[in-house]
Amino acid sequence: MVKDAVATVLDPSSIRWISFSHFEADECGALREWQTIAPDSVAACSLVSKEVSVDDVVALRPSRAMADGECLETGRFSFQFLRTPNVPHCWDASLLFEQTGRTLFCSDLFHQNGDVEPSTSSDVVGRFRQMLLDYEAGPFGGYLQYSDTTGKVLAQLADLAPETLAVMHGSSFVGDGRQALMDLSVAMRETLDGA
């Protein structure tokens, strides 16, 4: 299903770069299959992802370890790599900021439950806060954590002033990304600090 959707945008066999935030099945579990379809593709990820898990478990060929702040140029787009340990979660976490269109690829940040629209300009932080409350009350508690470090990372992301927040689980947000990230930080602190 995802492959068919990708094929509406470009020939899947021509993919050169595959990136993701952290080593989890929903982030990179299909890397081997994608690299089989795209014989010249290379995974771009954090050094910790590469060394601790990705090259040993899911990559068909050596991954490219990105340095914090380094840009991956693809021709039309420039993806800045941001090392963000434990944001959204996991030691190896990172995020990408596409500088041309000012799009932040958010991974699990702004996660919303339910069958929601692909993108919206309405507030998504309320949905995110509800997801956190639901998860904390059930067997998926501990999904995200909040500390002073988390707050600093989210402030740095806000300073990028993204115009689109590309959300992995839920609606992507088009609008004032700076304010949305500051609101997200408040929602995480109020819901999770000391949880």
Q: Which stretch binds Fe ion (CB under 5 A): 38-46, 62-70, 76-84, 105-113?
A: 105-113
Pick the stretch among 28-36, 53-61, 100-108, 186-194 that binds Fe ion (CB under 5 A): 100-108
Quick one: which of 92, 98, 108, 183 contacts Fe ion (CB under 5 A)? 108
183 binds Fe ion (CB under 5 A): no
Q: Which stretch binds Fe ion (CB under 5 A): 26-34, 73-81, 115-123, 150-158?
A: 26-34
Stretch that binds Fe ion, among 65-73, 103-111, 128-136, 144-152 (CB under 5 A): 103-111
Contact flag: residue 24 with Fe ion (CB under 5 A): yes
Count of residues that bind Fe ion according to CB under 5 A: 3
Q: How far is the CB of 20 from Fe ion (least distance, A)?
A: 9
In the complex, what is the shortest distance from the CB of residue 144 to Fe ion, in angstroms, rounded to a whole number?
A: 9
b/e sequence 60-95, b meaning 16+ C-beta within 10 Å: beebebbeeeebbeeeeeebbbbbbebbbbbebbbb
Q: Assign residue 166 a region (left: φ > 0; alpha: ψ between -120 and 50; beta: otherwise).
A: beta
Kindly tell me which of 108 and 183 has the beta carbon lying closer to Fe ion.
Answer: 108
Smallest CA-to-CA distance from 67 within 54, 79, 53 is with 79
Is 26 a binding residue for Fe ion by CB under 5 A? The answer is yes
Taking the complex as a whole, how short is the minimal distance between the CB of residue 93 and Fe ion, in angstroms? Answer: 8
Residues in the site for Fe ion, rule: CB under 5 A? 24, 26, 108
